[in-house]
C-alpha cells in the first residue's frame, strides 16, 4: 500500500508533464532494450537469454515504426539503432556459429541476423549508466531517473525552452 500511495503522489505531482517532440533534423529510430528476467547472479543465463529475446521483440517494434514512417511518406534512410547493455546478447547476435547454449533461442538469433545482414538495424553496446530503458525495467535512484527523463525530453511542455521564442 505504501508503494501504491507513493506512485499516486508521484503521478499527482507530475500531472503537467509530458513528452516534448521537437525537430532534430532526422527521422532516425533508436531502440534501447533491457531485460533482467530471473537475474540469476550465479550463471547469468536467464539474464542474457531474456536480454536476447528482448532485443528480438524490440526489433519487431522498430520494424513496425519503420513501416509506419514509410506509409506516411517518410521512409527511413538509415538502419535503426538497437542499443543494449548486454555484451553477451550482442555477441550471440553477431556470431554465425551455433552453440549448444544458444539452440533454445535459434529462431530469434536467425531473425536478428537477417535484419543485421539486410542493414535494417545495427546493434550497439550502451553503458548501463546510459541505458534509458532502465527507468522502465528496474528501480533507479532519483538522479538517474531525472537524467533519463531529460534525455527523453520528458518534462513540463508548457515551460518555454531556453533559446526558443
Confirm whether 162 is domain-assigned.
no
Q: How many domains, in total, are found in the chain?
A: 1
Confirm whether 116 is domain-assigned.
yes
Confirm whether 161 is domain-assigned.
no
Mean pLDDT of the chain: 76
Question: Is residue 165 over pLDDT 70?
Answer: no
Task: Find the domain containing 149 and state its range.
Answer: 29-155
Neighbours of 45 (CB within 10 A): 13
pTM for this model (two decimals)? 0.66
CATH number (domain holding residue 47) = 3.30.420
Residue 123 or 133, more confident: 123
pLDDT tens figures, 10-59: 778 877 777 666 777 777 888 888 765 555 555 555 556 677 777 888 88
81 phi, psi to nearest 5 deg: -90, 125
Question: Is residue 160 over pLDDT 70?
Answer: no
Amino acid at each position: 500500500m505504501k508503494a501504491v500511495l507513493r506512485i499516486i503522489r508521484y503521478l499527482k505531482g507530475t500531472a503537467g508533464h509530458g513528452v516534448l517532440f521537437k525537430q532534430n533534423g532526422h527521422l532516425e529510430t533508436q531502440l534501447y532494450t533491457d531485460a533482467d528476467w530471473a537475474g540469476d547472479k550465479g550463471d547469468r543465463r536467464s539474464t542474457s537469454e531474456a536480454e536476447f529475446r528482448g532485443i528480438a521483440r524490440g526489433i519487431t517494434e522498430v520494424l513496425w515504426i519503420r513501416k509506419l514512417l514509410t506509409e506516411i511518406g517518410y521512409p527511413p534512410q538509415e538502419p535503426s539503432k538497437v542499443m543494449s547493455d548486454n555484451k553477451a546478447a550482442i555477441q550471440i547476435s553477431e556470431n554465425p556459429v551455433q552453440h549448444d547454449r544458444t539452440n533454445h533461442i535459434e529462431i530469434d538469433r536467425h531473425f536478428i541476423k537477417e535484419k543485421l545482414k539486410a542493414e535494417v538495424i545495427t546493434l550497439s553496446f550502451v553503458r548501463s549508466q546510459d541505458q534509458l530503458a532502465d527507468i522502465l525495467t528496474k528501480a533507479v535512484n532519483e538522479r538517474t531517473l531525472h537524467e533519463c527523463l531529460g534525455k527523453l525530453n520528458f518534462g513540463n511542455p508548457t515551460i518555454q525552452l531556453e533559446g526558443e521564442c
